[in-house]
Amino acid sequence: MPPTTRPTPPRAAAPDAAGRAALGWLHTARFLTTAAQLNQLPALELPEIAFVGRSNAGKSTAINTLTQHTQLAYASKKPGRTQHINLFALGRQSQTDAVLADLPGYGYAAVPQLDKLRWQRVMANYLVSRANLAGVVMLCDARHGLKELDEALLEVIRPRVEAGLPFLVLLTKADKLNRNEQAKALSIARLHAGGGHVMLFSALKRLGVEQAAVWLRQLVDEAAPSHDAAPEPAPDGEPEAK
């Protein structure tokens, strides 16, 4: 009997013009500021896109892959220990037309319970009250799907999503699954995503990178009528590791 072959994951397609343009725009990302508390964040009118996810879900890797910077967002050697919100400006020619917000990873077991609860409240308050929040990207390990804390976060933003806030789930590390497993992961995530978009993502194989970049670019373009580009703010300090 011939050996059973394991289905291979799909390869990423070559970027088209829209994908190249979106990736070029994301490559303009540069550090803006870091904040340990919500009241330390600058009040901005530009569209802001928040990246959220469990510790070790590959959030920093996804941000670095999308922006084509190796250390724009970087992970702490002790996941979950550093609890800051890092902002990154986007836009060409010293003009900022959008901001990426890298929120602390959550769910790391070694973090004291009080610290977990405090930062869950901070993140919930950010997602509920940040006036210029234009979209949310959740990073989720494709092998494990959405966990309890992910679903709790979805409940926090559900009123804003129902009011029109764009929401994207990136199923990271999708290269570790075969085609059948990927299809199953997509199907299950879509059931739990509450109307948000769901995409497979692999930094290693560049699966979903172009599609996610185009989604981000289109989100900002659609928000543009109510958010004009602003002069580049002066960077403030250095980003905190996640």
CB distance 211 to 176 below 8 Å: no
* Mean pLDDT of the chain, nearest integer: 86
pLDDT digits (tens, 9 = 90+) for 70-79: 889 876 555 5
CB distance 62 to 203 below 8 Å: yes
Instruction: Delimit the domains of the chain by residue range.
Output: 17-225
pLDDT digits (tens, 9 = 90+) for 135-179: 999 999 999 999 998 999 999 999 999 999 999 999 999 999 999
Percent of the chain surpassing pLDDT 90: 64
Which pLDDT band holds residue 36 (cuts at 50, 70, 90)?
confident
Choose the CATH number for 17-225 among 2.40.30.170, 3.60.15.10, 2.60.40.3120, 3.40.50.300.
Answer: 3.40.50.300
* Per-residue confidence (pLDDT) for residue 241, from 0 to 100: 56
Q: Among residues 211, 197, 202, 145, which one has the least CA distance to residue 8?
A: 202
Distance CA 14, CA 41 (A): 38
Higher pLDDT, 213 or 235: 213
Higher pLDDT, 10 or 113: 113
Q: Which two tokens stand for residue 182?
A: 């990927």
* Per-residue confidence (pLDDT) for residue 13, from 0 to 100: 57
Which pLDDT band holds residue 81 (cuts at 50, 70, 90)?
very low
pLDDT digits (tens, 9 = 90+) for 102-137: 998 887 656 677 777 777 788 889 999 999 999 999
| 81-85, 109-113, 155-159, 184-188: least confident range | 109-113
